[in-house]
Amino acid sequence: MDSSSADTGHVALELGRLLGPLRRAVLRATRNAEGLPDLPEAQIELLRALSAAPDGLAPREAAARLRIAPSTVSNLVRTMTAAGLVERISQPHDLRTVTLTASATARELLERYDSASTAALVTASAELPAADRAALAAAMPALDRLLLAMERQGAAAARQAAGQDRRGASAG
């Protein structure tokens, strides 16, 4: 293995090791700062997807955007509808078809989460040396590209798995 591969492997290992704890620390600081409810990350992700879709999303569209199983979306929606965070809008032409939207309460919570998480990150970043803040800023485009690469990789793996499932089902 050449040094470039070793460096890439080390960066990947460290990034994987840090992402979960960093995400949880930001979420914890955000909740504590604003006295926000302890929403699971999956619920926050669904609310973000619904808030980004002005006309709402069908449950299958939400699952595809989040890259999770439709049954997971159904479970999230059940809990979140009971909590007043998601609204299910039946379509007049087909009562079996629903569109999901984030409620006004959910949109207000997301604004508070975003504001508090930004403030928490600004405060924590201010404690870092200027060189670290500059390195974080310089890393943003690379992190965006890494996210896109991970999403492409996940989509390719899902397509491959779906193709194997179809082949396996036709063979049986």
- Residue with tokens 């890259």, as numbered in its chain: 67
> What is the value of pTM for the model shown?
0.72
Average pLDDT over residues 136-161: 88
pLDDT tens column, 109-145:
999 999 999 999 999 999 999 999 999 999 999 999 9
Average pLDDT, the chain: 88
Using 50, 70 and 90 to split pLDDT, how confident is the model at 172? Answer: low
Higher local confidence (pLDDT), 7 or 157: 7
pLDDT tens column, 23-50:
999 989 988 888 888 888 899 999 999 9
pLDDT tens column, 65-92:
998 999 999 999 999 999 999 999 987 8
Q: Check: CATH 1.10.10.10 for 9-127?
A: yes
